[in-house]
Chain A
Amino acid sequence: MKCTDFLKELSDYLDGKITEGLKAELDEHLHWCHECHVVLNTTKKTIEIYRDNQIYELPDPLRTRLHDAIMSKCRSSKHHKKDV
């Protein structure tokens, strides 16, 4: 297996969506290919760091303001269907 073949399967490998047979082949490649091993590790960390550090949280005061605005617009928009 070449590194390019490994890379093609990287996402499915990380998501655990590959057959046992393919996993064994990929593991075999990882065993001797340091570069793919590092790419696999750092890609995994990339996903984790975005998942663990939510960079766009909605602050509570803004949340309340948006919620009020949405509900007031819904209230003044005639009920769905009737005005469409």
Chain B
Amino acid sequence: MATIQKRAAEGVTEEMALVHAAKSGDLEAFSQLVHRYDRNIFRIAQHITHNEEDAQDVVQDAFLKAYQNLEQFQENSKFYTWLVRIAVNEALMKLRKRRTDRTVSLDEDVETEEGSMPREVADWSPNPEQLYGQSELGDILKKTIQGLPPGFRTVFVLRDVEGLSTEETAEMLDLSVLAVKSRLLRARLQLRERLTRYFKSKRDGDGHQ
């Protein structure tokens, strides 16, 4: 009987049960919430900060802050949405500290023309994953996404890597749906442009066959 109830309570309801328990001081329940989302928060933090040490700090600080402010969590949104919001703010703060030369904000107007119009228009090799070894491919993907402005890469990561909806992403980042869509399009096009330089089909002209 207990098993059936447990299964039925899976998903959002189970999450809310954990949040309720954590709110009333059940540390084990909070530990389960940490376990549920630590990988996602680490990935998001790494993508924003590009620094592993900072990302580790962000994971710790975000969960601690969430714990300390659980009472303020209104429960009209998902716990994960609320948590990511905290983590993104922490990550941007880290980024600001590292880059004292300029401010970092998701609202900064990133009017780069780059990527708005495709320049590299070549199909990719049938399988870029075979063209490069796993770690080399990882380096290319990292280097490429690091070149995007923070506001673009954060939107791309939440939408396309973490698979969140446009509306959820807008809520997490305090942006309008329209702003999320515009940043996502430009992020996708800029990444495509840069990756094409690595992955374009060899017969399009760089001599290797």
- Which positions in A face B, CB cutoff 8 Å? 4, 7-8, 10-12, 14, 35, 38-39, 41-43, 45-47, 49-58, 62-63, 66-67, 69-71, 73-75, 77, 79-81, 83-84
Contacts and interface: CB of A to CB of B under 8 A. Distances in A.
Given A47-B188, A71-B27, A53 B123 contact: no
Interface string B26-39: 01001100110011
A71 B34 contact: yes
Contacts of B85: none
Chain B interface, >50% SS class: helix
Q: How large is the interface on B (under 10, 10 to 19, 20 to 34, 35 or more residues)?
A: 35 or more
A45 B188 CA distance: 10
Interface in B100-128: 116-118, 121-124, 128
Contacts of A84: 68-69
B202 interface: no
Interface of B: 23, 25, 27, 30-31, 34-35, 38-39, 42-43, 46-47, 55-56, 59-60, 63-64, 67-71, 116-118, 121-124, 128-129, 134, 137-138, 141-142, 145, 156, 160-161, 163, 181, 184-185, 188-189, 191-192, 195-196, 199
Chain A interface, >50% SS class: helix
Contacts of B134: 53
Given A11-B181, A56-B42, A79 B196 contact: no
Contacts of B123: 38, 41-42
B39 A80 contact: no
Given A66-B56, A70-B64, A80-B68, A53 B38 contact: no
A4 B118 CA distance: 10
Given A80-B23, A81-B71, 16 more contacts: A7-B117, A7-B189, A11-B185, A35-B118, A42-B199, A46-B188, A49-B128, A49-B129, A50-B141, A53-B138, A55-B145, A62-B56, A67-B34, A70-B59, A71-B30, A79-B25
A4 B127 CA distance: 28
B195 A49 contact: yes
| 6 interchain residue pairs of minimum CB distance | A56-B46, A58-B42, A11-B185, A46-B192, A43-B192, A70-B63
